[in-house]
A and B are shown apart, each in its own frame.
Chain A
Amino acid sequence: MLAKRIIPCLDVCDGRTVTAVRFVDLRNVGDPVELGARYAEQGADELVYLDISATFEGRRTFTSLVSRIAARIDIPFTVGGGIASIDDAGRLLDAGADKITVNSAAVRDPALIDAIAAKYGSQFVVVAIDARQIDGVWRVTTHGGRRLTERELFAWSREAWERGAGEILLTSMDHDGTRNGYPCDLFAQLSQRLPIPIVASGGAGSVEHIVEVLTRGRADAALAASIFHYGDITIPELKRQLQACGVPVRL
């Protein structure tokens, strides 16, 4: 049976993991390759690396980092952050990435999704969406949630799928960082409307939250950062509890 996926997310700036990490026994906590390898050994199903470098030099460092990840990690990994052209996507594919995420650039220029999917296949294109609920309507935001757009979430995610997105990575900016859980009704609605996998992000604070979004929320995968980095939840323990709740997971 197809397993629900657990995906740790690592933010990288100038080649270093920037999210604070609380592993005591990890010598080089700053090295994203070592941290990713650790998660892979613990049973992570996939990894996401987001480049938050603001400089050209930082982005070049990220590309060489992707090559090092590809050499070391034996599970699929996705990279994102600042991908604005088909050349950016191609450069990361050549460096060894299994998938890329596009976010703000796709909102600005939706044809970017078509172009990347046509050249490299839908399985390579994850469209990341940051949404916020305004007066009862889920609206798409860009630039890390700072800019509100006129786009409505369900319309945009449908368009992204029609243009060739292989997967949707949805973050509720209203829940991100709160550790109060995911908006499960939102994820369930999206999952029922689209025939592609939905990755839930933003808001996980406990095992129960992750169980809920993978069952009632019908998400195909759950992505989280701080709860893993701080060691609040370890992946083996999370997966054991998911299995105990009847969620199919890879142990």
Chain B
Amino acid sequence: MIAIADYDTGNLRSVSEALRRAGAEFVVTSDIGTLRRADKVILPGVGEASASMARLRERGLDTVLPTLTCPVLGICVGLQLMCRSSDEGGGVDCMGIFPVRVVRLPEATPEGRWKVPHMGWDTIGELRTPLFAGLDEETYVYYVHSYAPQCGADTIAVTDYGMRFSAALGRGNFFGTQFHPEKSGAAGARILENFLNMK
């Protein structure tokens, strides 16, 4: 059974629909026992990181999620909460599964101006790990975000938009994407399928 972690972040619908299209059985839950028993856990997220982290703490999920041994996938803010900290909302300590900081995207660089949020289809490159099996370098995926994780040893995909950031992170059984695979057409469906096929 796949568990989608529910911490009142809103809009779990698109992830649920993507799993339904993939033919996967899943539950949406905030129950710690159910999350511990799950074969896979997905941590979605939209909205603001510090408020989201507070809701995760209220439910005690911030101490449970890092101890899971099954494959875990964070999406967008879900991934950001798995990082060490986020600069959003005045700064907040996150779960620290990936030892990188989440920073705001620059709006101006020597190359020019960058519209923030970074919204639309952008390419991912330097792909590593089975999460990206079957995907070509420079595949387009869908983004909507103003903050992004810096690059580090756990970076398994990168995107350049004003700065180079981690499009995805992976460490042991933990994975996360800054983009939205559930909205990324066939490429996104393949990434979710790759995650669902992990042991």
Contact = CB atoms under 8 A, between A and B. Distances in A.
Interface of A: 1-3, 5, 40, 45, 70-72, 74-76, 93-94, 96, 98, 120-123, 166-167, 195-197, 220-221, 250
Given A93-B11, A121-B47, A123-B144, A70 B119 contact: no
B117 interface: yes
Contact of A40 (B120, B121, B182, B185): B185
B188 A74 contact: yes
Given A96-B13, A96-B14, A98-B14, A74 B122 contact: no
Interface in B119-142: 119-123, 140, 142
Interface of B: 10-11, 13-14, 17-18, 20-21, 46-47, 107, 113, 115-123, 140, 142, 144, 160-161, 182-186, 188-189
Given A121-B46, A195-B107, A195-B113, A75 B118 contact: no
Contacts of A121: 46-47
Contacts of B17: 70-71, 96
B14 A2 contact: no
Contacts of A40: 185
Contact of B120 (A45, A70, A94, A195): A45
15 contacts: A1-B122, A2-B121, A3-B121, A5-B121, A71-B20, A74-B18, A74-B184, A75-B184, A76-B142, A76-B183, A93-B10, A120-B10, A121-B46, A195-B107, A220-B120
Contacts of B118: 2
Contacts of B160: 1
Most buried by A among B18, B113, B120: B120
B119 A166 contact: yes
Most buried by B among A1, A72, A122: A1
B13 A74 contact: no
Contacts of A72: 21
Contacts of B189: 74
Contacts of B18: 74
